[in-house]
Amino acid sequence: MWRAKATSFFCFVVLFLPSEEKCTDDKVCVQMKTHGMLSADCYNKNIRNFPQCLRTDVEVIELSYNRIRKITKDEISRYKKLKMLYLADNLLTNLENSTFEDLTNLMSLDLSLNGISYLPPLVFHLPSLKRLYLSQNQNINIIEVVEETRPITSPLEAIDISFNELEVLPNFGILPNLWLYNISGNHLLSMRIRDIAGFCKLKKLDNTNFSAYFDNPCDCWNLQSWLEERNVNFTKIACDIKKEACTYTISDEDMSVYNACQQHIEEVSQKSSLVKIVCFNILLQTFLVCRALETEEKVDASGIIISITYFWILLVIVVPCVFVKNEFQTLMITLTEFAVKGGSCDKYDDHISNLILQVHHQTFEFSANGVLPLDGKLIYSILGAVITYLIILLQFNN
């Protein structure tokens, strides 16, 4: 008895000691659940390798201001739920082609203040990536990698390539979701409208501490008029020529790139309305078959019209609720990111923290007077019920 206990204790120690020891270096990271997301705060901890012992379901990793030189796919792919990864101010130089391959949930990637000279093309095909910060990487291969990887499939909303000593801007092509483009601190030897024509949702072009040379001096005015026409917030650029000497002209090529971007947005909204119509038709058809079976007579026209109207109203109410709920989720994530990343700005920190706490504890749900939740599940359960009845009725018929 005594001996058995001692043996099992020994086994326990032998089995668990090595793995414990391997992970001691990662105890420096503070893991916590903040604002509903599991995050690991490893800011300024003199870390040299990507932490291997964090919880694998961690969603936010803050690794800014450390000494990491290299990240391999094996080190990072254990964190499959990762949504935000902050690696600013490290010693990264070359990233492997496959480094970020498995991070299909990654929404925000900060690689600012490194010495990256090889950014893997795969970054521009990450299916969830919305924000990409590449500021202050003086030798970055951004021009070549974008050229090689276009068309970009990531739903990028914000790109920061500030202070990268670029001479021309990368040709991103069409980015229909981009609203922030940060090119500040660059001094370009050439700039054209083409460089921004594919961003039809652009809201802010940060071009502070910036200068550019225009092959055609009138392009300086053309560019600014283009931005003003589209209500983009930017800093005025000093031109070499008087505005009166130029007439506002946009080349057909630039216009067609812009139109292609807009068309892309329209296609997306068409697709979502298509889903709506398909859903509606399935429901309606099932319902009509049910009715026909039930009555075994000809279904009267007024009944059909009433059912169509009811279903239509239901969908018109429910579908926007689902979209709004999804948008709310995105807002939560963005706010959380702001709180985690904008921590240096104490003035707003408290306010944002409070706001996040508030919205987080407020269950956000549309419902019919608290009885029925108005979401996709409602449609699903109605469909389920209809089909069940249909089967029962079919059996009765036999």
Ligand X SMILES: *[C@@H]1O[C@H](CO)[C@@H](O)[C@H](O)[C@H]1NC(C)=O
Closer by beta carbon to ligand X, 31 or else 162: 162
User: What residues pair up with 118 in beta bridges, in sequence order?
Assistant: 94
Binding window for ligand X (CB under 6 A); candidates: 35-43, 70-78, 157-165, 168-176: 157-165
Residue 369 neighbours by CB under 8 Å, 6+ apart: none
Footprint of ligand X on 219-238 (CB under 6 A): 233
Backbone angles phi, psi at 85, to 5 degrees: -130, 115
d(CA 240, CA 238): 7
Rounded least distance, CB 92 to ligand X, Å: 13
Tokens 């910036």 label which residue?
210
Residue 40 CB, shortest distance to ligand X, in Å, is 24
Query: How many angstroms separate the Cα of 136 from the Cα of each of 11, 45, 46, 116, 367?
Result: 52, 21, 21, 9, 48
Nearest approach, Cβ of residue 204 and ligand X (Å): 6
Does 209 bind ligand X (CB under 6 A)? Our answer is yes
Q: Which is nearer to ligand X, 110 or 160 (CB)?
A: 160
Nearest to 107 by CA among 316, 329, 389: 329
Selected binder of ligand X within 25, 101, 147, 206 (CB under 6 A): 206
Q: Does 147 bind ligand X (CB under 6 A)?
A: no
Taking CB under 6 A as the rule, does residue 162 contact ligand X?
A: yes
Query: Closest separation between CB of residue 147 and ligand X, Å?
Result: 13
Paired tokens of 375: 């979401």
3-state secondary structure 135-146: CCCCCCCHHHHH
**Straight-line distance from the first to the last Cα atom of the chain, in angstroms, rounded to the nearest whole number:** 69
Nearer to ligand X, 66 or 186 (CB): 186
Choosing from 64, 149, 182, 186, the residue that interacts with ligand X (CB under 6 A) is: 182
C-beta of 221: minimal distance to ligand X in Å? 18
For ligand X, the closer CB: 162 or 336: 162
Looking at 41-49, 149-157, 180-188, 335-343, which segment touches ligand X (CB under 6 A)? 180-188
Give me the least distance between CB of 86 and ligand X, in Å please.
14
Chain positions 94 to 123 lying near ligand X, rule: CB under 6 A, are 96-97
Give strand ranges (E) for 130-244.
131-133, 158-160, 180-182, 187-188, 204-206, 211-212
Stretch that binds ligand X, among 73-81, 181-189, 268-276, 288-296 (CB under 6 A): 181-189
Shortest Å, Cβ 122 to ligand X? 9
Q: Which of 50-87 are b and which e, b meaning 16 or more Cβ less than 10 Å from the residue's Cβ?
A: bbebbeeebbbbbbbbbebebbeeeebeebebbbbbbb
- Helices (H) and strands (E) in the chain — how many of each? 9, 13
Count Cβ atoms within 10 A of the Cβ of residue 199 and give its class: 0-12 exposed, 13-18 middle, 19 or more buried.
buried
Strand partners, 86: 62, 110
Q: Which is nearer to ligand X, 71 or 318 (CB)?
A: 71
Among positions 295-324, residues that touch ligand X (CB under 6 A) are none
Q: Which residues bind ligand X (CB under 6 A)?
A: 96-97, 135, 160, 162-163, 180, 182, 184-185, 204, 206, 208-209, 233
